[in-house]
């Protein structure tokens, strides 16, 4: 069965009385080279995070669709758990994945999923054997950033995010935002919040013609690689009176304030939470200008500022 052939995808959907659902962001991959490259990149990254090359590797896929990426992942990984929201696709996936006994299809909305419980349930044995876990998906574009934030925020700042990598295809515009640096026009609240937990790199671009139906936007594959957490970005976090987890949360609040009023200086945008004199004093302590805007602050600047502000209260 060629799951990346437009005619075959249409035939399969027809057979089960289905059509691509816009509301679920259903744009299916129809160029076999693309899911192959995504799976290969994801797996290479998971091997580099695995200390023992013989240890098993697992992957969570979000939105298998008709199974184009799923079948590629199944060739690399010991286990694939794929979450699909669309009940209509389940019997189709049972047919298209019938040759892969390492694939489990779970009919569930990723936004309603308890990620740590899913990991425990589906990958507990792999983790016990010292194996690694990844996430890989061609994400439905209507929930790109919420899914990425959910995957990262399912874990407290005092624990590490347990994925070797999160390799996802998303809109190029969002990809450019996530890889941007402080001070650039694309840099935003989600960029800073993601960087508190991970590094992000763009792997390759995918034009709209590689999908059925053809989407209005172009796409890019990115890799989100969890780093050593906030104490790697800001070593003084270990001595923060707030503790690592509260410092992380306070930093997220500060990021929201800063980007809620993007054109204002941080002194003004954070004034609802901290006295202005304290913000000015903290900025001076850190060698930052008093008229700086949040959009010029990196994730580690936000951490240092949140720590200074809360020490001064």
Q: Which segment (25-33, 178-186, 194-202, 278-286) binds ligand SAM by CB under 6 A?
A: 25-33
Residue 26 is a binding residue for ligand SAM (CB under 6 A): yes
The answer to whether residue 69 forms part of the interface with ligand SAM (CB under 6 A) is: yes
Question: What Cα–Cα distance (Å) separates residue 50 from each residue in 59, 60, 125?
Answer: 13, 16, 15
Q: Please, what is the minimum distance in Å from the beta carbon of residue 242 to ligand SAM?
A: 34
Name the one residue in this structure whose structure tokens are 């690592």: 244
Length of the chain, in residues? 313
Could you tell me the smallest distance in angstroms from the CB atom of residue 300 to ligand SAM? 32
Among 31, 36, 132, 138, contact with ligand SAM (rule: CB under 6 A): 138
The residue within the footprint of ligand SAM, chosen from 58, 140, 229, 248 (CB under 6 A), is: 140
Close Cβ partners of 40 (under 8 Å, ≥ 6 residues apart): 72, 76
Least distance CB 19 / ligand SAM (angstroms): 12
Residue environment code for 23-42, b if the CB has 16+ CB neighbours within 10 A, otherwise e: ebbbbbbbbbebbbbbbebb
Chosen residue from 13, 24, 45, 294 binding ligand SAM by CB under 6 A: 24
Q: Nearest distance from residue 206's CB to ligand SAM, in Å?
A: 10
| In the complex, least distance from residue 12 CB atom to ligand SAM, rounded to whole angstroms | 12
C-alpha pair distances (Å), 225 with each of 28, 196, 206, 211, 312: 25, 11, 21, 26, 33
Find the binder of ligand SAM among 72, 80, 110, 252 (CB under 6 A). Answer: 110
Q: Footprint of ligand SAM on residues 226-285 (CB under 6 A)?
A: none
End-to-end C-alpha distance for the chain, whole angstroms? 64
Give 62 or 97: the residue with its C-beta nearer to ligand SAM.
62
Calpha distance 163→133 (Å, rounded): 5
Evaluate whether 61 touches 83 at the Cβ level (below 8 Å): yes
Which has the closest alpha carbon to 161: 195, 191, 201, 111? 195
111 in Cβ contact with 146 (< 8 Å) = yes
| 25 lies in the binding site for ligand SAM (CB under 6 A) | yes
- State which residue, 63 or 188, has the beta carbon closest to ligand SAM: 63
> Binder to ligand SAM among 85, 119, 194, 299 (CB under 6 A)?
85
Map residues 49-68 to x or -, x wherever contact with ligand SAM holds by CB under 6 A. Answer: -------------xxxx--x
Give the integer Cα–Cα distance in Å for 100 and 61. 15
Using CB under 6 A as the binding rule, whether residue 39 contacts ligand SAM is answered as: no
When the beta carbons of 24 and 259 are compared against ligand SAM, the nearer one is: 24
Q: Which residue has the tokens 């600047």?
A: 301
Q: Interface with ligand SAM includes 174 (CB under 6 A)?
A: no
Helices (H), the chain: 6-15, 33-48, 68-76, 89-96, 115-128, 144-153, 172-179, 189-195, 230-233, 244-260, 266-269, 276-285, 299-312
Is 166 a binder of ligand SAM (CB under 6 A)? no
Give 38 or 193: the residue with its C-beta nearer to ligand SAM. 38
- Sites of contact with ligand SAM (CB under 6 A): 24-29, 62-65, 68-69, 83-86, 109-111, 138, 140, 143
């Amino acid at each position: 069965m060629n799951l990346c052939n437009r005619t075959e995808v249409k035939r399969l959907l027809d057979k089960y009385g289905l059509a691509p659902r816009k509301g679920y962001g259903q744009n299916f991959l129809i160029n076999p080279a693309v899911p192959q490259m995504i799976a290969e990149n994801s797996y290479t990254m998971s091997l580099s995070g695995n200390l023992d090359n013989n240890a098993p590797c697992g992957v969570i896929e979000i939105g298998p669709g008709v199974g184009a990426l799923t079948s590629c992942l199944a060739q690399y990984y010991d286990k694939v758990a794929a979450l699909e929201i669309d009940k209509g696709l389940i019997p189709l996936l049972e047919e298209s994945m019938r040759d892969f006994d390492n694939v489990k299809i779970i009919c569930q909305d990723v936004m309603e999923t308890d990620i740590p419980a899913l990991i425990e349930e589906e990958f507990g044995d792999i983790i016990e054997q010292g194996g690694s876990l990844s996430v890989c998906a061609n994400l439905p574009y209507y929930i790109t950033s919420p899914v990425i934030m959910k995957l990262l925020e399912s874990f407290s700042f005092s624990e590490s995010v347990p994925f070797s990598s999160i390799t996802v295809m998303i809109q190029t515009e969002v990809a450019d935002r996530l890889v941007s640096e402080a001070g650039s026009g694309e840099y935003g609240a989600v960029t800073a919040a993601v960087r508190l937990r991970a590094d992000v790199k763009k792997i390759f671009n995918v034009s709209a013609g590689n999908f059925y139906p053809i989407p209005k936007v172009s796409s890019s594959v990115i890799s989100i690689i969890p780093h050593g957490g906030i104490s790697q970005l800001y070593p003084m976090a270990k001595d923060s009176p707030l503790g690592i987890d509260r410092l992380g949360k306070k930093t997220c609040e500060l990021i929201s304030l800063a980007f809620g009023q993007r054109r204002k200086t941080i002194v003004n945008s954070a004034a609802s939470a901290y006295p202005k004199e304290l913000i000015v004093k903290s900025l001076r302590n850190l060698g930052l200008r008093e008229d700086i805007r949040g959009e010029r602050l990196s994730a580690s600047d936000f951490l240092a500022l949140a720590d200074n502000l809360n020490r001064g209260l």
